[in-house]
Chain A
Amino acid sequence: MRRPTQIERLYLDFDGFFASVEQQARPRLRGKPVGVTPFAEAEHTCVIACSREAKLRGVKNVMSIAEARARCPEIILVPQSPDLYRRAHNALISEISAVLPIDAIKSIDELTCRVEAADRADPQRLGLRIKQRLADNIGPYINCSIGFGANRQLAKMACKAGKPNGNMVWRPEDMPGPLLALQLVDVPGIGGRMARRLARAGITDMAGLLATQPKQMRKLWGNVTGERLWYALHGYDLQAQPSKRGMYGHGRVLPPGHRTLDHARDASRLLLVKAARRMRRDGWNADGLWLWLQIRDGSWTRAAPLRAAQDDQAVLHALEGLWAMARAQLPRNERIIRLGVTLLDLTPANERQLDLLLDDDRIRRRWECATAAIDSLNRKHGRTLVSLGAWTPPPGGYAGGKISYTRIPSAEDFW
């Protein structure tokens, strides 16, 4: 395995991304403590992101609203705007791409690039160039931290060590010095539980971790990730293996006034159609559908087979079957707090295996044509103009537009 002797990777992480995008977009929020919440007027939930000003007053991400208000009474709470964050992400990525090619986008606010040979001698200047470009073309309220290292993992850790607004370089010849100043839980991939496991093995600090052997790390982790992390921490050119998509799905917490079985069914139909649209866009069929309902005393989960389908009629028919089971098994007045629908067991859409006994190819093709026509009409009009059955979005908006680590929604997900 190759061990770079120069800086080869850059890792960029935007500081307090959601809150700083809000401040950039809305001048009234600038310079003030801002907390972003999942819904408007939500009091029994948490602050999902907060601005630098709020952090300086003791507010943290994923802190309850009550606690955030207690620590910072002047905090301004704003509901999340996923579409705004998506648009900001696209603009920021385009600007960074104009400075150097992007290797991988790790989440809505994190990305990594290869550092070109011409920039390796003075990576800090490259970092300043990116920051200046973002300040000039996007605005001064969205700051980023940049880290440079021999590989992605070290660049990410350097980036985190330099926060906020950092431009940190960890040269191979300086290693492992900067690592020794960190806590074990500062290493991406080591959480509280893993730190306890390491402590039981007598490893309580970075010096101890770095003194292990690759196979020892593998044994401690119980899988190859430990060994891969060892090589990454020791500066070898190693990074996460590309993962294969296994499912498409959406989940939703239902507002208190919309927790009946009928409301939950309507919300699940809409979420499923949105998940199926994404799946079709990416060229997959699903072999199964999974419905999960969170109820007062636990949860209710059932799966239904789909036979390599991707059209709306097939997935909605399977969903109706699952709802018939739910109605038969749950009390009529059951309250559904949260629900999730997932299309799983994916196979490429262009490799559909026909089922001789089912013999549904002709009817599936017809429904696929109808669904393609519906998708085309909706795309042309930029909204859900045509759907199979009623289209009743749950209150709160942004159904199906949730931002997660590996998913940055597109404009179509908000239709």
Chain B
Amino acid sequence: MNWKTDLKLSDLGAGERIEATCKKCGLTHYEQAAHLLTRPDMQHLYLDEAERLLHCANRFCRGPVRIALIHDGKTEGFVGGMA
């Protein structure tokens, strides 16, 4: 039981990006959650299931990928030491 088995693709925000890193060659590419949801085979999947359907972006590799979510938008600085 981890975050990938807890979350569905449809739980992600439309603009959210998924980072997919190839387990074979290390190539990283990004997928838009909204774009993946347009695929009929992806619409109702949990993230671990979606991960299994994704492949490396290099057409000569096509290896399995490990996905991660990007949390850029939540970063906030300290102001005068205050959290």
Contacts and interface: CB of A to CB of B under 8 A. Distances in A.
B53 to A, nearest CB: 19
B68 A90 contact: yes
Nearest to B76: A104
A153 interface: yes
A114 interface: no
Interface string B40-83: 00000000000000000110000000001111101111111111
B68 A94 contact: yes
Contacts of A243: 76-77, 79
A152 B29 CA distance: 35
Contacts of A223: 80
Given A94-B3, A98-B3, A382 B57 contact: yes
A163 B77 CA distance: 22
Contacts of B71: 90, 93-94, 97, 102, 105, 408
A95 B1 CA distance: 10
Interface residues of A, number: 52
A237 B1 CA distance: 35
Given A95-B2, A97-B3, A137-B2, A104 B80 contact: no
Given A379-B30, A382-B29, A104 B74 contact: yes
B10 interface: no
Interface string A216-257: 000001010100110010000011111100000000000000
A405 B78 contact: yes
Interface of B: 1-4, 6-7, 19, 21, 27-30, 57-58, 68-72, 74-83
A-B interface, 10 closest residue pairs, ranked by CB to CB distance from nearest = A189-B81, A225-B80, A240-B79, A382-B27, A411-B28, A104-B76, A94-B3, A152-B83, A406-B77, A90-B68
Given A95-B2, A104-B74, 15 more contacts: A102-B74, A104-B75, A105-B71, A105-B75, A111-B74, A155-B83, A188-B78, A229-B80, A238-B82, A240-B82, A241-B79, A243-B79, A381-B57, A381-B58, A407-B75
